[in-house]
Amino acid sequence: MSLVVSVHVALSQCAEDRHTTNLTDGWMSCNTTLNPQAAMGDSHWIHYDLGFVYNIYAIKVWNLSHPSFIKSGIREAVFSTSMDGTNWTTVDTFTIPKAHYSGKYPGQLSVDLKGVSARHLNITALSNHGGACVGFSEIRIHTQAFSQNDLVLDFKACENGGEYRNIYPGVVGGGIFSGPGVTDNGDGSFNFDADVVGPGSYSVQYKNGPSILKDNVLVLPCGHTDCPDCDNCGGYAQALVDSPNIPDGTYINEQVTAAGQVLTNRDVDFRGAIEVELGQGFEVKQSSNFIAQIRECYVNGTTNSSFESDFSSWYFENRDSDDYEVNFSINNNDSYEGQKSAQIEVVDFNPSTWRVELGQLQIPLEASKRYRAIIRAKSVDAESFHVRIQQSGDPYILVVPSELMAHRPYWEDHILEFDVDENITGTSYLELWVGSSVGTHLFDNIKIIEIE
């Protein structure tokens, strides 16, 4: 839900500059509603009526720090102000860093509205850090100019998190930010492109006259538990790139081999999980951005994982059709990503059992390796579902023996990490079991990837 708050007396946490990990101590929106700033349409938003007109300067945000919802913390957000709550002025779009898994998380100076006069503040979330909802734990609004003497960049980025915009650390204005992946904005803030620099620790410098301040930004690798998945190997169909005019784009595969030309004013990125080979005849012309790098990517063991090709590669079984009334369909109105999701509606059952199955055969799992299964699921009225992974042939070894997952009324990642028995051979199958209660189950973006 979205919320309008009138603030006259501010009560905060007991320990200054910290916030609890309690989910109830904050704001979270899992469904879009009509924004008071009409131009934003249906969106995730929160509106503050400050009660009086103030000059608004620095804003500190404590992002969601509950362990189960840390990825639902707000990321890109539009900040808008108004005198009357009807006519709005958009200030800018800011990036809010992800919180830490800690009750000692100190929050982050994130926004500078530079003294704009307003009674109303509206925050519209454009994205989060990979979760199903959007929110933050706490906000502090400074109504007087604020600056600090140290450069404090207490946030972690993800290599596939893209560009973090308008990072405002609250230092005295007039200087210049510099460092790998850094673009100075000329207003006391900078942008940081984690996807360009890749995983690692990077020094950011702020030079203001003779004063030089430094701090580090840690970029975590894709696939880290705090970050979105890695890119899928084979982002382009071809591993071999051989063209007199290599198009703009990011070419991702386990091996990328190139022998063509990157012409003037191109932007080309080769990412090989194992190898990037630039063969004879490969050439990059002037004024082009070209990067060749080794980056992790994964091969998803499932096909048609987001049901964009409808039922292709999936099977559905109602094993007690005399006892169950079940409808299986592709939902075109509610998806985690893309346009479609799988929908199973259990209308009636007798007795209560787990005999309704959605599955996929031919999942390639190798002996003595470790995998991660990611199932995105949602249900407003059904309680739970089971995940089961088993060897396809004799002796039918159970790889994941029926794990129970609790549903939420919004899209949520259900993640299992498991080791494959050293004796397993051939392929396995994945099944999602429902049927213990009446209700509608939605599934989307189902992945099984090797992690070790």
For 218, residues 6+ apart whose C-beta sits below 8 A from its C-beta are 156, 157, 200, 201
CATH T-level fold of 3-220: Jelly Rolls (2.60.120)
How much is the pLDDT for 88?
96
pTM for this predicted structure: 0.71
Contacts of residues 14-20 at CB distance under 8 Å and 24 or more positions apart, as own/partner, are: 17/106, 17/107, 18/103, 18/104, 18/105, 18/106, 18/107, 19/62, 19/65, 19/103, 19/105, 19/107, 19/137, 19/138, 20/65, 20/103, 20/137
- Assess whether the region 3-220 and the region 315-450 belong to the same CATH fold: yes
Find the distance separating the first CA and the last CA of the chain, reported in whole Å: 39
CA distance linking residue 288 with residue 187, whole number of Å: 28
Neighbours of 262 (CB within 10 A): 23
pLDDT one-digit tens code per residue, 110-152: 888 989 999 999 999 999 887 888 999 889 999 988 777 888 8
CA distance linking residue 180 with residue 162, whole number of Å: 14
CA distance linking residue 413 with residue 132, whole number of Å: 8
CA distance linking residue 398 with residue 396, whole number of Å: 6
How much is the pLDDT for 10?
35
* Torsional sign, CA 219, 225, 227, 229: positive
> Domain limits of the chain?
3-220, 231-298, 315-450
**Alpha-helix residue ranges (DSSP H) falling in 395-442:** none
How much is the pLDDT for 83?
95
Structural tokens at position 23: 């989910």
Structural tokens at position 131: 């979760």
Give percent of the chain above pLDDT 90: 46
**Alpha-helix residue ranges (DSSP H) falling in 86-244:** 194-197
Which residues, given as ranges, of the chain have pLDDT below 70? 1-25, 101-104, 237-238, 351-352
Return the bridge partners of 345, or none: 327, 440
CA distance linking residue 388 with residue 249, whole number of Å: 38
How much is the pLDDT for 214?
93
- Amino acid letter, residue 305: S
**Cα angle for residues 33, 39, 42 (degrees, 5° grid):** 15
How much is the pLDDT for 18?
53
CA distance linking residue 214 with residue 57, whole number of Å: 23
CA distance linking residue 288 with residue 25, whole number of Å: 49
How much is the pLDDT for 22?
55
CATH T-level fold of 315-450: Jelly Rolls (2.60.120)
CA distance linking residue 268 with residue 25, whole number of Å: 45
pLDDT one-digit tens code per residue, 74-100: 999 999 999 999 999 999 999 988 887
